[in-house]
């Protein structure tokens, strides 16, 4: 089976081509803040990112022949995890999605490219709206605003399974499954999500997109509610501009004008005190969220797993470990396994080993 996996993130479009479980091509196409700022809305990046995918395949001599195309995404209604075939209900909900996120493009690009081929099917797997919250975690101080989650479900689960497989490989007589573990998993990407996983379910995890949790390279995280309301009524910003102050032009992008962690660390080394304070504040907020997840798990934690692009950074990881390693052993999985997870999920579905769910 030949599978094209497409993962549009907030700062990159990652693609991979798999022949069964063998990767034939893996590419990370990075997008600068300036490049993406030409597009008023994320959905407007559709043609741009789709063409980049086609160009990357051509440049690498990959023939446009696939059994399935799978995209990461999108921000649909809350649904159980798993593999879903793209259908009209999904495309309709994505096109009119209330929330803007690059992963919405994954579903749309997969669908459009698959339609160019006879017998090629389009899928998504474990989108960011996978919802397994404990009921107690949904309650906020306002009945008007129950909590929802939008998080890196695909990667957090893939990393959890990888950690369990590593434990099993180390002690084959004592096989361990993700479903046996209590884990805190922290995805450090353009957005940051921190999940408390209890026996294979994310019982609490922040809404990394809509202003909840730590701030991140391009998200505001939790904001002071009163000040936010005042800003809404200040006539200083239109609604869409204010939304960008929560997701897009927020976090490190708003404070420092860049989401590029290596560049920020370079300027800290060159003596930029503001960059140092802001980046350290982001690390501090991530550590506090890990502490909150520890409480959700009653302090019974097998491991803390740090993943996402920023987990490549020794500067960030060493400072995080300093604050949280008293809670549990910390393991680092830099980058993400999302492309492989997409491909493996779809391969399982095409082989009949995993159910293909229908989005309604």
Ligand X SMILES: Nc1ncnc2c1ncn2[C@@H]1O[C@H](COP(=O)(O)OP(=O)(O)OP(=O)(O)O)[C@@H](O)[C@H]1O
| Partner whose footprint covers residue 128, from ligand X, ligand BUA, none (CB < 5 to 8 Å by kind) | ligand BUA
Tell me the β-bridge partners of 201: 198
| Partner whose footprint covers residue 259, from ligand X, ligand BUA, none (CB < 5 to 8 Å by kind) | ligand X
| Partner whose footprint covers residue 12, from ligand BUA, ligand X, none (CB < 5 to 8 Å by kind) | ligand X
Does residue number 208 form part of the binding site for ligand BUA (CB under 6 A)?
A: yes
- For the bound state, the minimum distance from the C-beta of residue 191 to ligand X, rounded and expressed in Å, comes to 4
Does residue number 308 form part of the binding site for ligand X (CB under 6 A)?
A: yes
Does residue number 345 form part of the binding site for ligand X (CB under 6 A)?
A: no
Which DSSP category does 45 fall into?
Answer: G
Please pick, from the candidates 69, 120, 209, 220, the single residue that binds ligand BUA as defined by CB under 6 A: 209
Does residue number 73 form part of the binding site for ligand X (CB under 6 A)?
A: no
Structure tokens at 257: 């004008």
Please pick, from the candidates 12, 100, 267, 357, the single residue that binds ligand X as defined by CB under 6 A: 12
Write the burial class of residue 161 (CB in 10 Å: 0-12 exposed, 13-18 middle, 19+ buried).
Answer: middle
Residue 339 contacts by C-beta under 8 Å, 6 or more apart in sequence?
5, 7, 14, 15, 16, 23, 26
Does residue number 190 form part of the binding site for ligand X (CB under 6 A)?
A: yes
Whichever of 221 and 309 has its CB closer to ligand X, that residue is 309
Select from 175-183, 199-207, 260-268, 272-280 the region that touches ligand X (CB under 6 A): 260-268
How many other C-beta atoms lie within 10 A of the C-beta of residue 47?
11
Does residue number 191 form part of the binding site for ligand BUA (CB under 6 A)?
A: yes
What would the DSSP string read from start to end of 141-179? S-TT--------HHHHHHHHHHHHHHHHHH-TTS---GG
Sheet arrangement for strand 330-334: 201-205, 192-198, 182-188, 303-308, 330-334
- For the bound state, the minimum distance from the C-beta of residue 122 to ligand BUA, rounded and expressed in Å, comes to 19
28: three-class secondary structure by DSSP: strand
String marking each residue 136-175 x if it binds ligand BUA according to CB under 6 A: --------------xxx-----------------------
Residues binding ligand BUA: number (CB under 6 A):
11
- For the bound state, the minimum distance from the C-beta of residue 137 to ligand BUA, rounded and expressed in Å, comes to 17
Quickly list H helices, the chain.
33-36, 46-59, 88-95, 104-114, 135-138, 153-170, 225-232, 239-244, 251-256, 261-269, 273-296, 314-324, 338-350
Does residue number 333 form part of the binding site for ligand BUA (CB under 6 A)?
A: no
Whichever of 253 and 294 has its CB closer to ligand X, that residue is 253
* Near ligand BUA in 90-129, by CB under 6 A: 101, 103, 128
Q: Give 3-state DSSP helix, strand, coil % of the chain, rounded to 5.
A: 40, 20, 40
Where does this chain bind ligand X (CB under 6 A)? 9-12, 189-191, 217, 259-262, 308-310, 312-313, 336
């Amino acid at each position: 089976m030949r599978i094209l996996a497409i993962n549009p993130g907030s700062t990159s479009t990652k693609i991979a081509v798999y022949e069964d479980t063998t990767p034939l091509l893996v590419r990370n196409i990075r997008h600068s803040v300036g490049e993406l700022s030409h597009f008023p809305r994320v959905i407007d990046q559709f043609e741009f990112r789709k063409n980049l995918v086609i160009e990357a395949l051509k440049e690498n001599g990959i023939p446009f022949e696939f059994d399935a195309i799978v995209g990461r995404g999108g921000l649909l209604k809350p649904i159980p995890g798993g593999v879903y075939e793209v259908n009209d209900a999904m495309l309709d909900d994505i096109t009119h999605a209330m929330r803007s996120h690059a992963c919405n493009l994954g579903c749309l690009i997969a669908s459009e490219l698959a339609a160019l081929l006879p017998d090629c099917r389009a899928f998504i797997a474990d989108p960011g709206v996978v919802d397994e919250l404990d009921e107690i975690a949904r309650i906020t101080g306002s009945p008007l605003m129950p909590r929802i989650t939008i998080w890196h479900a695909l990667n957090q689960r893939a990393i959890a399974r990888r950690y369990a497989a590593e434990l099993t490989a180390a002690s084959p007589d004592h096989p361990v499954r993700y479903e046996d573990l209590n884990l805190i998993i922290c995805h450090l990407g353009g957005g940051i999500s921190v999940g408390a996983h209890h026996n294979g379910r994310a019982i609490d995890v922040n809404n990394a997109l809509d202003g909840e949790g730590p701030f991140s390279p391009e998200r505001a995280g939790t904001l002071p509610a009163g000040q936010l309301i005042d800003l809404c009524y200040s006539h200083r910003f239109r609604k869409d501009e204010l939304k960008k102050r929560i997701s897009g032009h927020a976090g490190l992008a708003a404070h420092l004008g860049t989401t590029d962690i290596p560049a920020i660390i370079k300027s800290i080394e060159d003596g930029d005190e503001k960059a140092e304070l802001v980046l350290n504040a982001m690390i501090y907020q991530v550590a506090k969220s890990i502490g909150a997840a520890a409480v959700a798990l009653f302090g019974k934690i097998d491991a803390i797993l740090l993943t996402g692009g920023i987990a490549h950074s020794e500067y960030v990881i060493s400072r995080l470990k300093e604050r949280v390693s008293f809670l549990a052993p910390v393991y680092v999985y830099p980058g993400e396994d999302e492309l492989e997870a997409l491909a493996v999920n779809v391969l399982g579905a095409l082989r009949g080993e995993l159910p293909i769910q229908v989005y309604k």
